[in-house]
Structure 1
Amino acid sequence: MKFVRRIAYRTSMFLLTLVLLVGIWELYKATGPQDGGIIFGARVLPRANDTAMPHVSTMFSRYGRPEVRGSDKEIWQVVLSGAWFSLRLSLVGFFLGTTIGVGLAVLMARFTTVRRGLLPYLVMSQTVPLIALAPLVVSWGGKLEIGSFVWPRWLSASILGTFLAFFPVAVGTLRGLT
């Protein structure tokens, strides 16, 4: 019962936050100063026109329009397709990272020499900023060939997800096993 109550509370808080954001958006759209100004001592941006800041109902109604002129697909279908593609890439990265992390943790828990030799490099791998690594990994897409394996472009995003996932899994599993 406590679990259901917690889920209901979180859902209601999410919906309340969403309603508040929509309300603030529409209120500012309707009553915001035309040329900007100062309200309660804070500088306020000028009210935007319908192109820059459309009504929420207008934004949702546009999801039913065709993606481009003459297209069979509507915008909501394209958005859903892109979200599904991104979810699949993130799941591949998550599963690869989890598998690698658990495998490394089991090795480090079983063999002390492996832990002493590998753990500093795992920690050091997390000091490399992802923004420095991402362009390099993305540039491999479609260009890197190892034997008969050609690196597909989509794999770059999954590898970055793997890099993000493996370290916390490895450290957490290692702490749990020791």
Structure 2
Amino acid sequence: MIKTKRLVLKSYSNSDKESMAELLTNEEINKTFMIPDFKSEDEVIKMFYKLKQLSLSDKHYVRGIYAQDKLIGFINDVDIDDGVIELGYVIHPSYQHKGYCTEALKAAIEDLFKKGYREVQAAAFEENEASFSVMKKAGMTPIEKADDITYHGKLHHCRYYSIKKTNKVKIIES
């Protein structure tokens, strides 16, 4: 569990099922975060339980983002390779533009560096300026990596940002 000034990042519990279903089926979120097209409520519930299991695993980085004990978003690994982890993140539209996403991403980056990762990356569709703003505020900078992904029948260009762990030693003057 990670606590920030206003948020908690932690594994999911069964009581999060309805809030997660709202996140997974929200039309605004679905425009910019690649979520499967669910055909039934049962598929959404199965996805929740899969994410809950992943949130309890040491092999994945899957955390709910909570404000005042309410699940308002999530952050998860997209790819993990040789000390580099790519993250995706979502905040419910009702909670956007309040700094929650930046606060959660900063906390996750710090936690991942403590866990031994040397680099954290994130990507967003080129038109998702809000996500790039979050990445910048979390200390990430653009990198040369890019992808073209077809999502909902439309080709999207994805740009990547990164932050690397530094081994700077603070010198305390006496």
The alignment's TM-score, normalised by the length of structure 2, stands at 0.21
The alignment's TM-score, normalised by the length of structure 1, stands at 0.21
